Structure 1
């Protein structure tokens, strides 16, 4: 991997945060909708659009609005900066509970996902924080983990420990940890890789070398399914039915062993067309905002701010009141302290 100068690292970190938020906003109006419903309601998502009135999670939200994916990723980023690289699990639990309470107060339907909600309700009721999260197999940990990859090099000591800090409260399972590890490593390698595909390849080899943590789950292995998804992408270059086949063969639900492989597959397939990856995710159906957000973080980290149209990222920042550059700079400051 090539050495990156300071400015390039900062541009890539900002690109990752822009990719997370843009993917989230593009997928916002279609989340939890079927592919057919999306076609009937919007025709085809080709940019930032308002959500329809019967959108299941974000009815009538204006174009450019982000959801829990971006908000929780930025929440994690803030905790990493506050903890000088570490995430305190008690603070993470308290911050997520406070975030959901504020969303409820605003009347929002965009609340915590099923695994996170179940674990944090246990925390709220006095459960030992070391015992929660042992049923969390969904993608909540993976969707918010990108700042770990921005703040730490995979080659630094204990990268997997930083990932585990971000997920064990709510997703203390093999699928929860492994999906977060794959995403965080893809982002971290992306910061200094030659290309998105190089970053993903490095990340999968790294994840294979790390002993999985968390409670066992009988569900299909995330890493294995991600490898299969990338083989699928390689075999279907130029196939006009690529998106339909991807959805049908791998699924697009909130389960980490569906949405995470699909997100990485789209990032791989559209490595030279980052916006195309996010638009494909927005149209594919299912957990569209999370799939697009994860793909956007990886593509942005490996491509920088030039990956996405400036008018789109500026609209998202304006509508959602985001100021991402200082956060990106703070995470890179931590990265530069890694040995």
Structure 2
């Protein structure tokens, strides 16, 4: 299991770091500026978001995912809103994330409210952006595929400090469950089908909003994947134009799932996401985490692993060990009664 967990963590970091330079640029601008991204790059000075990062650094997607593991580890893997919020705020203060355009809008509003002693729920209940889904992949490694109800409830608790809407919880649950299924080496067809089946159940856990269906968009994305399996450029353009690659959960989550299904290989997936345009780092983080969970750590390029290790002040094996400990806690008795 350690190989699958490490594959998830490095997949998250690799997809994030490769997608960082092109983050929030249009598909046309990515092509005009980079031509084709084929390796890790510095964040361009011209990119207001990526300019704060250098080659191989991951962004808030991976950082927040690791901070949540730290918060859970401090509390025997029982989610605590207080501890998770404290870890996120501490990180945001240390990295000047509030001022450097690093935090997403929903997380920034919620954490600012908590900092000033105000109720964040006015923001969290309406949060439609992908902040919960972008950081959730490691949580999928804590559960078995038979524990889907528990996984959804756990995702809700972990996400609540910044995201509590139905679409945010559903999108995050789908990413976590896809990782869970991938660690068990389910077929790609089963990963997508079972993840899609989870949608309606997960939607019930959040505060009701109105939003286009992630499930229906994923079905369409998978149709594009089959139709254009020999034409990557057309598939990418269809995902960008029809499913969407923006920061909304109902765009980026079905896009990431469809791309993971299409690419399968984590290296192909990370580069595909870096070049697609839109929220490239987040889509890359989610999609490549799923592919990394399926392939495992040993299948990853050691050069890419070294780049991640050398350019980020974390030791991902330590986080894999924490997640293994978390699995042990949850295996001793399902805290949600499933």
Q: TM-score, normalised by structure 1?
A: 0.91
1:334 maps to what in 2?
A: 326
The residue aligned with 1:267 is 260
Match of 1:292 in 2: 284
Q: CA deviation at 1:315?
A: 0.6
Equivalent residues in 2 for 1:128-277, closer than 5 Å? 128=119, 133-156=124-147, 158-210=150-202, 212-239=204-231, 240-271=233-264, 273-277=265-269
Which of structure 1's runs of 4+ aligned residues deviate more than 6 A? none
Relative distance call for 1:209 and 1:218 in structure 2 (3 A) is closer
Q: Is the 8 A contact 2:110 2:121 kept in 1?
A: no
Superposed displacement of residue 209, structure 1: 4.1
After superposing the two structures, state which structure 1 stretch, 9-18 or 56-65, moved more.
Answer: 56-65
In angstroms, what is the RMSD of aligned CA positions? 2.0
- Other-structure match for 1:27: 19
Q: Secondary structure at the match of 1:55?
A: coil
Offset at 1:31? Answer: 0.3
Identify which range, 46-55 or 107-116, moves more after superposition: 107-116
Using the TM superposition, name which of 147-156 and 93-102 deviates more. 147-156
In structure 2, the partner of 1:62 is 54
How far did 1:187 drift? 0.9
Q: Show CA shifts across 1:5-31 (max 9, x none).
A: xxxx10000000000000011001110
Partner residue in 1 for 2:293: 301
Residue 74 of structure 1 pairs with residue 66 of structure 2: yes
Going from structure 1 to structure 2, the CA distance change for 1:146 and 1:198 (only over 3 Å counts) comes to same
| 2:77 is the counterpart of 1:85 | yes
- Answer yes or no: is the 8 Å Cα contact 2:175–2:286 preserved in 1: yes
Shift of 1:197: 4.0
Instruction: Give how far 1:61 is off.
Output: 3.0
Q: 1:86-144 deviations in whole A, cap 9, x for unaligned?
A: 22011112221221111118x97252211111122222232346665111110000011
SS of corresponding position for 2:95 = helix
Could you list the runs of 5+ residues in structure 2 that have no partner in the other structure? 334-338
CA–CA separation in structure 1 for the residues paired with 2:322 and 2:225 = 35
Q: Which consecutive residues of structure 1, in runs of 5 or more, have no partner in the other structure?
A: 1-8
1:225–1:261 CA contact under 8 A, matched in 2: yes
Mapped partners of 2:262, 2:54: distance in 1: 29
Cα displacement (A) at 1:148 = 1.4
SS of 1:45's partner is coil
Residues of 1 paired with 2:171 and 2:156: CA distance? 11
Contact kept, 8 Å, 2:224 with 2:238, in 1: the verdict is no
Q: 1:241 aligns to what SS in structure 2?
A: helix
C-alpha separation between the residues in 2 aligned to 1:65 and 1:210?
32
Contact 2:169 2:203 in 1 (8 A): no
Corresponding residue to 2:114 among 123, 130, 141: 123
The farther-off stretch of 51-60 and 261-270 is: 51-60
Q: How does 1:93-112 map onto structure 2 within 5 Å?
A: 93-104=85-96, 109-112=100-103
Verify the 8 A CA contact 2:6 2:297 in the aligned structure 1: yes
The whole-number CA distance in structure 1 between the counterparts of 2:126 and 2:271 is 31
Partner deviation per Cα, 1:168-204 (whole Å, 9 max, x = no partner): 2211111111001101111111111234443333222
- The answer to whether the Cα contact below 8 Å between 1:90 and 1:129 also exists between their aligned partners in 2 is no
